[in-house]
Structure 1
Amino acid sequence: MDDVRSGGPERPAEGAPGLGRRRAVLAVLCVALMMIVSMVVSLTVALPDIAGDLGASQTELLWIMNSYGLVFAGLLLPAGALGDRYGRKGMLLAGIGVFGAASAGALWADQPGALIALRVVAGAGAAMIMPMTLSIVTTTFPAKERAGAVAIWSAVSAGGALMGLLLAGALLEGFSWRSVFGLSLALAVVSALGVVAVVPTSRDPEGTAVDVVGAVLSVVGLCAVVYAIVEGPERGWSDAAVVAGAVGGAVALVAFVLWELRVEHPLLDPRFFRIGAFSAGSVVIVMASVGIFGLFYILLQYLQWLKDYSPLTAGLALMPMMLAVGAVSPAAPVLVRRLGLRVVLTVAMLVIAVGMGVLATLDEGSSYGPLAAGTVVVGAGIALCLAPATDSIVASLPPAKQGVASAVNDVTREVGGALGIAVLGSAFNSGYRGGIGEREGEIPAQALGAARSSVDAALATAERLGGSAGEKLAAAARHAFASGMDRAMLVAALCVFAGALAVLLLAPGRTESVRLQQRQERQHTEARQG
């Protein structure tokens, strides 16, 4: 597959930056990365305040959350290609500007529709930022340091959502929901100043034209598929709009693949997926993201509704997972060098599946111990798989295509996240409603509709009822929630286990992993020599 990976050496990025500057570049890029990753989750804790202040309906709240990820995922591939073509530093600064402007606008939004529109703009900015952060890391660091730098990038990517949740929870203790966007604006300003000061410039030296047709097909296909994934649990999978999104998106993506196989300079060459490391890394990130995003979605509700934690306390309760990610991440590249990609990725996915299995044992009366143990195991597995999977994707492609490689990594992460929330959300809803059905005779008839709709509505109704009727309704809702959560965690464990089996078949062994690293060292040396 050398013909697939071949490409001209990349022109040095304003000379070879020294060690101190490389570290400064990584720090600045991690700030920008955390800024956009944290926004995926942090707003969840502010939704009640937004609903009260803006009068947003449940559907509007759903789109305030999902419009960001929808545009984010859809624009990643063309944004990565544009960065390769016109300059990664410039694209990064433009993305920070767009994201910062949207955050500033949100400080003054007074209608749900305006906030949704600003979230769309922020998603476009995030799509311009995320692939640039990773591609600049991979083109700035020499191959022998790249795995460690990518491990730090991956740790921030995995832990940034939780850190954003903690910061948002802390802000909401004393300020309004607008403070969350104020934090994003402040991070945008800091990121922009840092990028201007220390980040080198780089681009594809061949200067090939951007594949416009491929870009349009990828945007339409990804946006339509993600729309169907997001709306499926809410509207129902047989809803006309959901079916149209799924079918139309699939048709557009098939057309994208066929077009990319024919065009001279494709946006993303489908033949890249013949490379074992590239395809294995993509599978790992999709399946791991299904589990991770689904876990956040379910556990945050569990901690707040069943354990009565505040948003800040709920975030702190998940800290062991972030600590495990930080502690284990440095070991991942060392293990890959010693054992090979196949062994490390397969074991890591099995570790995540075991952690999900532990979390599937939780119920409404569980203590904090099993939850902490399960999240620590999941965090260790995440640390072992995400950095090597990311590195395997970017290491499989030549330096000139690092923007596209980074975009593929990010697309798989975002689509996996949307799929995780949709699939695990559906599994949870099925388990929850089944649990309510088991207690139907114990629930007052006038409260049954509220109990079936959501645990939030059930607990609010129970509080209004009061007395023994309210206590029975609350107990039934909590039991049903635990049943739904157990089902969702088991589905997550099965998804991750399936990913482990796929990696076992696709990923290269130790000898090929070492050969891949050596080739990247040669390419990076050639790039620095010009």
Structure 2
Amino acid sequence: MSSQNQQRWWVLASLAFGILAIGLDMTILNLALPMLAQDIHATNVELQWFANGYNLVFAAMLLPMGMLGDRIGRKKMLLTGLLIFGAASLACAYSVSSWQLITARAFLGLGASLIVPLSMAIIPVLFTEKERPKAIAVWMMANAIGIPLGPILGGWLLNHYWWGSVFIINLPLVIIAILSVSFLLHESRSQEYRPMDLPGMLFSSVGLIALTYGVIQAGEKGWGDSFSLSTVVGGFLLLIWFVRYQTRTAHPLVDPALFHSRRFAGGTLIGSIISFALFGVLFVLPQYLQAVLGADAFSAGLRLLPLVLGLLLGTPISDVLQSRFGTRTAIIAGSILLGIGLAMGSATTISSGYGFELIWISAVGLGIGFALPAAMDTAISALTPERSGVGSALLMAMRQVGGTLGVAILGAVLNAGYRNGLDLKEWPTEAAQMAQRNVSAGLAAAQRTGSDSLVHSVKNAFVTGMGNMLWVCAGAAVVGIIFTVILLRTRSAECNSSTAALEAKE
């Protein structure tokens, strides 16, 4: 392997540390919320905004930051994002009030909105078509490992140090990424000069904020809440207008060809559907492990590792499937395996135990490892190096929307199944009202009554709701298969398209 080739992989490996820090940040904060409520006297609304402030800024700034990376330079903007993320992590750790922490979390979201799309944007710039699936696999693994590692590492840190340590852990990862990018990554930017699409930036940002905020509120207040529903609808309408505007303006923020590309549209849509199912599974599993099986946060994180192991094993197999049979085959095989794993999970009972869960979450991880990198490779293959920053940002924005919708919609399905499964006839009135909030409150209320039958009722109701939710996830996997068949080409069609493209160049 040449030194130049090695350097490209070292650049990607160094960026993986920054992506790992962002993955950790997605889950590690949840463990610190009880301490934050006590130490800085945060209210329930403020606790929600610790997460919402990050999510809203991240969603709003993805497309503008991707465009700035293409325009100003991807290396410059990556380093800027890493510096912002590191400084914001330090500010989070030493916040003494809720407003300081919310502000610092918003800057964390700003840093992440630079790191995530631009770290992906360098893949089509640095790597050949043959190398790209492996590069995407590295990027995906760094992102995936951080999610279950958050509770494991966070549980250990909170047992030994103060709550700010869950943010300090970001600093060594960010420093490694900054040093490596500074010395190893060459600057790249678009050679095309395009005026700033300010209306496109405004309406994409406001649309993503409205959609994300509306979905978050609907997850908390229910889809019958008029404000939440109107915010979601308003966000969708703004994004539809944004797409229409991009196809008509002379200097669009996003290349209009992407909206007509079957590869980009298909890969992005399928990736968003898989993210919908993945975020739903990651939402319900920690609750099942802790509430039903009685694991603490640290043990729950360890028990999620088979999901990541399945993804790690599935990704290189997906690479082989893509090279031999095409991306369509890899996505369909992964979606089938994902659907089978989710259908198995829907059969979980309170007596199933961890052995049964080990089987189906491994199948889910393996299926995602097959399908998600292949879907992302399909979308990225449609990007030119000139517009890779904003194209990658659009891809990540759609995945973010898919994941957010997954948590909100699937959370509503879970809650409906849980509440309908509770037999409240034996409950005292106050305990019954408390039990309907969520499974943790239900167990606390049942244990307070000293009734084993009520504890059993709460656990059984939650498992019923989880089963309903996993069936919806399995249905999403089937929808992904349908879109794959409709939108993506077969292996022979891919080969014919590649041959035609080469002949056109010659």
Instruction: Give the secondary-structure state (helix, strand or coil) at the position aligned to 1:267.
Output: coil
Query: Offset of 1:235 from its aligned partner?
Result: 2.1
Unaligned runs of 5+ in 2: none
Please tell me whether residue 455 in structure 1 is matched to residue 436 in structure 2: no
Letter of the aligned partner of 1:491 in structure 2?
V
8 Å CA contact 1:283–1:503 kept in 2: the answer is no
- Residue pairs, 1:40-189, within 5 angstroms: 40-189=26-175
Give the corresponding residue for 1:267.
253
Q: What letter is aligned with 1:497?
A: V
Deviations 1:123-174 (A, max 9, x none): 1110011011111122112222122111221222223312233222222231
Aligned to 2:22: 36
1:66 CA drift (Å): 2.6
Residue by residue over 1:2-42, the C-alpha shift from the partner in whole angstroms, topping out at 9 and shown as x without a partner, is: xxxxxxxxxxxxxx971221121011111111111221122
**What secondary structure sits across from 2:274 in the alignment?**
helix
Write out per-residue CA displacement over residues 49-89 of structure 1, whole angstroms, 9 at most, x where no aligned residue.
Answer: 22232232333222212321222122111111110111001
The answer to whether structure 1 residue 445 and structure 2 residue 426 are counterparts is: no
* Alignment check: 8 A CA contact 2:321 2:329 kept: no
Counterpart-to-counterpart distance in 2, 1:109 and 1:256: 37
Given candidates 376, 380, 388, the residue that maps to 1:390 is 376
C-alpha distance in 2 between matches for 1:446 and 1:160: 39
Distance in 2 separating the partners of 1:31 and 1:67: 23
Shift in Å at residue 459 of structure 1? 1.9
The residue that corresponds to 1:5 in the other structure is: none
**What TM-score, normalized by structure 1, do the two folds share?**
0.91
Q: Is the 8 A contact 1:143 1:520 kept in 2?
A: no
Give per-residue Cα distances to partners, 1:381-405, cap 9 Å, x unaligned.
1111111111111111211111122
1:478-529: CA deviations, max 9, x gaps?
Answer: 1111111111111111122112111111111113333566789999x99xxx
Counterpart residue number, 1:507: 488
Q: Distance in 2 between matches of 1:238 and 1:101?
A: 40
Does the CA contact (< 8 Å) of 1:40 and 1:69 recur in 2?
Answer: no
Length, aligned pairs only: 505
1:281 aligns with 2:267: yes
Matched, 1:222 2:208: yes
Retained in 1: the 8 A contact 2:66–2:117? yes
Which whole-Å deviations, capped at 9, do the CAs of 1:394-427 have from their partners, x for residues lacking one?
Answer: 1112111111221122112211110110011000
SS at match of 1:56: coil
Q: Which residue of 2 aligns with 1:239?
A: 225
Cα RMSD of the aligned pairs, angstroms, is: 2.1
Residue 374 of structure 1 and its aligned partner are, at CA, apart by 0.8
Would you say the 8 A contact 1:277–1:396 is kept in 2? yes
In the other structure, the counterpart of 1:3 is none
The structure-2 alpha-carbon separation of the partners of 1:518 and 1:163, relative to structure 1 and needing over 3 Å to count, comes to: farther
Q: Is the 8 A contact 1:396 1:516 kept in 2?
A: no
**Which residue of the other structure, out of 468, 473, 482, is the alignment partner of 2:454?**
473
Shift of 1:343: 2.1
Give SS of 1:396's match.
coil
Deviations 1:449-471 (A, max 9, x none): 111112212222233333xx3x2
TM-score between the two structures when normalised by the length of structure 2: 0.95
Structure-1 residue corresponding to 2:180 = 194
The 1-side partners of 2:399 and 2:158 are apart by: 28
Counterparts in 2 of 1:205 and 1:520: CA distance versus 1, 3 Å: farther
The higher relative CO (CA closer than 8 Å, separation ≥ 6) is in 1
Q: 1:295 offset after TM fit, Å?
A: 0.5
Q: Is the 8 A contact 2:222 2:412 kept in 1?
A: no
Query: How many Å separate the matches in 2 of 1:234 and 1:444?
Result: 25
Q: Measure, in 1, the Cα distance between the counterparts of 2:503 and 2:316.
A: 24
Alpha-carbon contact 2:124-2:384 (below 8 Å) kept: no
Asked if the contact 2:431/2:445 (under 8 Å) is kept, the reply is yes
Whichever residue aligns with residue 165 of structure 1, its letter is P
Q: For residue 424 of structure 1, what is the amino acid of its counterpart?
A: L
- Shifted more, 93-102 versus 135-144: the winner is 135-144
Compute the displacement of 1:226 (Å). Answer: 1.0
Aligned to 1:340: 326
Distance 1:169 1:61 in 2: 19
User: Cα offset for 1:283?
Assistant: 1.4
In structure 2, distance between residues paired with 1:141 and 1:149: 8
Q: How far apart, in 1, do the equivalents of 2:258 and 2:123 lie?
A: 21
CA distance in 1, matches of 2:482, 2:11: 37
The reply to whether residue 405 of structure 1 matches residue 419 of structure 2 is: no
Q: Retained in 2: the 8 A contact 1:352–1:382?
A: yes
Would the alpha carbon gap of residues 262 and 484 (structure 1) be closer, same or farther in structure 2, given more than 3 Å must change?
same
User: Which range moved further: 440-449 or 476-485?
Assistant: 440-449
User: 2: distance between equivalents of 1:44 and 1:513?
Assistant: 44
Once the two structures are TM-superposed, the CA of residue 270 in structure 1 deviates from its matched residue by 4.1
1:230 is displaced (CA, Å) by 1.0
Give the letter for the 1:404 counterpart: V
Asked whether the equivalents of residues 326 and 491 of structure 2 are also in contact (C-alpha less than 8 Å), the reply is: yes
* CA contact 1:218–1:256 (8 Å) conserved in 2: yes
Q: CA deviation at 1:253?
A: 1.2
**1:359-386 alpha-carbon deviations (Å, 9 max, x no partner):** 1111222211111111111111111111
The 10-residue stretch of structure 1 (141-150 or 157-166) with the greater mean CA deviation from structure 2: 157-166
SS at structure 1 position matched to 2:91: helix
Tell me if the contact between 2:338 and 2:368 (Cα under 8 Å) persists in the aligned partners.
Answer: yes
- Counterpart for residue 484 of structure 1: 465
Change (3 A) 1:519 1:117: farther
Amino acid at match of 2:459: R
Q: Which runs of 5+ in 1 are unaligned?
A: 1-15
Amino acid at match of 1:232: A
Distance 1:212 1:521 in 2: 37
Q: Is the 8 A contact 2:124 2:383 kept in 1?
A: no
C-alpha distance in 2 between matches for 1:308 and 1:170: 18
Instruction: Describe the shift of the 1:72–1:522 C-alpha distance in structure 2 as closer, same or farther (beyond 3 A).
Output: farther
1:453 match: secondary structure: coil
| Whole-angstrom CA distance in 1 between matches of 2:364 and 2:284 | 14
Partner in structure 2 of residue 312 of structure 1: 298
* Distance (whole Å) between structure 1 residues aligned to residue 184 and residue 41 of structure 2: 44
Structure 1 residues 516 and 69: CA distance shift in structure 2, 3 A: farther
